[in-house]
Amino acid sequence: MPKHIVRLLGLVTVIAIVAFSAKYFLIPDSFYQYGHYRGNAVAEIASKVPKLQGSASCESCHKAVYAEWTAGIHRKATRNNAIQGVVYKSGPGCEVCHTGPAGNHPSKEAMPLSIEDRVTTITHSEHKVHPANVPARKLLLSPEDMRSVCLNCHEKLEARPIFQRQIEVASHSGEEFCTKCHNPHSPRIIYASLPQVRRGDPQAGKAVAAVCSGCHGVAGMSTSPTFPNLAGQHADFLVDALKAFKSGVRKNDMMSPMAAGLNEADIRNVAAYFSRFSCGVTGGDKAKALLGKVKAANCAACHSAGGLYGSGAPGVSGIPTWPNLAGQNAEYLSNTLKSFQDGSRNHPVMTSIAKNLSDADIDNLSAYYASMKCK
Amino acid sequence: MEHVFDHVTPYIGYVYPNETDFPWSQLIVIYPYITGLVAGAFVISSLHHVFNIKSFAPISRFALLTALCFMFFAPSPLLFHLGQPTRAFNAVITPHWTSAMAAFGYVAGFYLCLLLLEVWFAFRADIVAMSKVRSGIMGKVYGLLTLGSDDVSARALAIDHKIARILSMIGIPAACGLHGYVGFVFGSLKTREWWSSDLMPVIFLLSAVGSGVGLIIVLYVIVSKFRKTPILDDTMRGLLYVMFTGVAIVMVIEGLEMLEMVYKAREGIDTVRALIAGPIWAGMYIQWGMSTFALLVTSALLVFNTHGKRLVTWLFLSGLAMMIGVLAMRWNVVIGGQELSKTMKGLLTFYPEMFGRESLFTVLIISICPYVTLWLVTKLLPPWDEKIKLLPPWDEKIEPEHKVFDVHKLA
Amino acid sequence: MTTQDKKFEEQEVALSRRDFLGLLGKGAVCAGALVGAGSAVALSETQGSKHAFQQNDEQYAEAVNDPPKIPDYNWNDHQWAMGVDTTRCIGCLRCMEACKMENSVQMDANHYRTWVERYVYLEGSNTAIVDTQTDPKNIENTGSETKFRFDNRYRNAKVDKAFFVAKLCNQCEHPSCVQVCPTGATFKSKDGPVLIDTTYCIGCQYCVQACPYGARSFNQSRGTAEKCNWCYHRITKGLNPVCVEVCPTGSRIFGDRNDPESPISLFIRNNHVQVLKPEMGNAPNVFYIGLDKEVV
* Assigned domain for C223 exists: no
Looking at the structure, tell me whether residues C36 and C95 fall in a common domain: no
Chains that touch A (3 or more CB pairs under 8 A): B, C
**pLDDT of the residue at A251:** 87
Q: Is residue A103 part of a domain?
A: yes
Looking at residue A225, its pLDDT comes to: 86
Q: C22 vs C12, C38, C115, CA distance in Å? A: 10, 11, 35
Cα B218 from chain centroid (whole Å):
13
d(CA A84, CA C290): 12
Q: Considering chain C, what is the average pLDDT of its residues?
A: 84
pLDDT digit string (tens) for B62-104? 999 999 999 999 999 999 999 899 999 999 999 999 998 898 8
- Residue ranges making up the domain that contains C95: 76-171+231-289
CB contact under 8 A, B147 and A4: yes
DSSP C294: T
Asked whether residue C240 is domain-assigned, the answer is yes
Does residue C92 share a domain with residue C17? no
Does residue A306 belong to the interface with chain C, where contact is any CB pair within 8 Å? Answer: no
- Search chain B and give the residue with CA nearest C135: B17
Contacts of C90 in chain A (CB under 8 A): 153, 160-161, 164
Closest CA to C167 of C218, C133, C206: C133
Q: What pLDDT score was predicted for residue A178? A: 77
Which of 4-23 (A) contact B at CB < 8 A?
4-5, 7-8, 11, 23
pLDDT of residue B71: 94
**Segments making up each domain of chain B, as ranges:** 3-404
Nearest CA in chain B to C294: B345
* C93, C94, C232 ranked by CB distance to A45: nearest: C232
Q: Which of residues 117-176 of A touch C (CB under 8 A)?
A: 117-120, 147-148, 151-153, 155-161, 163-164
Q: Is residue A34 part of a domain?
A: no
Contact between chains at A4 and B151 (C-beta distance less than 8 A): yes
φ, ψ of residue A247 to 5 degrees: the values are -80, -10
CA angle A98, A100, A104 (to 5 degrees): 110
Residue range(s) defining the domain that contains residue A259: 202-275
The rounded distance, in Å, linking the Cα atoms of C281 and C267 is 23
Count the domains in chain C. 2
C-alpha span between A119 and A115 (Å, rounded): 9
Q: At what angle do helices B200-227 and B57-73 cross, to 10 degrees?
A: 120
Q: Decide if A270 is inside a domain.
A: yes
Look at residue C268 in the predicted model and tell me its pLDDT: 92
CATH architecture of B3-404: Up-down Bundle (1.20)
Q: Which of A193, A184, A186, A191 is nearest to A71 (CA)?
A: A186
SS3 state at C119: strand
Contacts of A104 in chain C (CB under 8 A): 101
Query: Do residues B95 and B179 touch, judged by C-beta distance below 8 A?
Result: no
Q: Find out whether B320 and B273 touch, Cβ atoms under 8 Å.
A: no
Residue C69 lies in a domain: no
Q: Which residues contact C164 (CB under 8 A, 6 or more apart)?
A: A159, A160, C86, C89, C90, C91, C116, C117, C118, C119
CB contact at 8 A, B325 and B289? yes
C95 touches A at CB < 8 Å = no
**C26 and C127 in a common domain:** no
Find chain C residues with C-beta within 8 A of A159's C-beta: 91, 118-120, 150, 154, 159, 162-164
Tell me, yes or no, whether C133 and C235 share the same domain.
yes
Angstroms from C130 CA to nearest CA on chain B = 6
Is residue C84 domain-shared with residue C155, that is, in the same domain?
Answer: yes
- Of A159, A174, A193, which residue constitutes the final position of a domain? A193
CA angle (B363 as vertex; B359, B367 as ends), nearest 5: 170
Q: Is the pLDDT reported for residue C9 higher than 70? A: no
Looking at the structure, do residues C34 and C122 belong to the same domain, yes or no? no
* Residue A9 resides in a domain: no
What pLDDT shows up at residue A164? Answer: 86
Domain end among A227, A254, A275: A275
A296 and A236 within one domain: no
Instruction: Indicate whether C214 belongs to any domain.
Output: no
Q: How many CB atoms lie within 10 A of CB B389?
A: 11
C162 lies in the same domain as C246: yes
Domain identity same for C102 and C246: yes
CB-CB neighbors (< 8 A) of B147 in chain A: 4, 7-8, 11
Single-letter residue type at A103: G
Q: Residue A86: its pLDDT value, please?
A: 52
Mutation target among A152, A153, A167, A172 for the C interface, most CBs of C within 10 A: A152
- Find the Cα–Cα–Cα–Cα dihedral A200, A206, A211, A217, rounded to 10°: 100
A289-298, A299-308, C215-224: which has the highest mean pLDDT?
Answer: C215-224
| pLDDT for the residue A208 | 85
C236 and C164 belong to one structural domain: yes
Minimum distance, in Å, between the CA of residue B108 and any CA atom of chain A: 15
Which residue does chain B place closest to C211, by CA atoms? B191
How far is the CA of C141 from the CAs of A42, A145, A147, C144, C147, in angstroms?
Answer: 40, 13, 11, 8, 10
pLDDT digits (tens, 9 = 90+) for B93-147: 999 999 988 988 898 999 999 999 999 998 998 899 888 888 888 888 998 998 8
Residues 3-42 of C with CB under 8 A from B: none
Say if A3 falls within a structural domain: no
- Whether A152 and C263 lie within 8 Å, measured CB to CB: no
Chain C, residues 113-142, CB within 8 A of chain A, namely 118-120, 142
Whole-angstrom distance, CA of residue A53 vs CA of residue A55: 7
Question: Taking every pair of C-alpha atoms in chain A, what is the biggest distance, in angstroms?
Answer: 134
Give percent of chain B above pLDDT 70: 92
Q: Are residues C81 and C150 in the same domain?
A: yes
What are the angstrom distances between the C-alpha of C216 and each of B270, B298, C40, C160, C205?
A: 26, 46, 35, 32, 9
Q: Is residue C166 located within the same domain as residue C247?
A: yes
Total domains in the fold of chain A: 4
Residue C201 falls inside a structural domain: no
ipTM: 0.86
Distance between A153 CA and the closest CA of chain B, angstroms = 22
The whole-number pLDDT of residue B366 equals 95
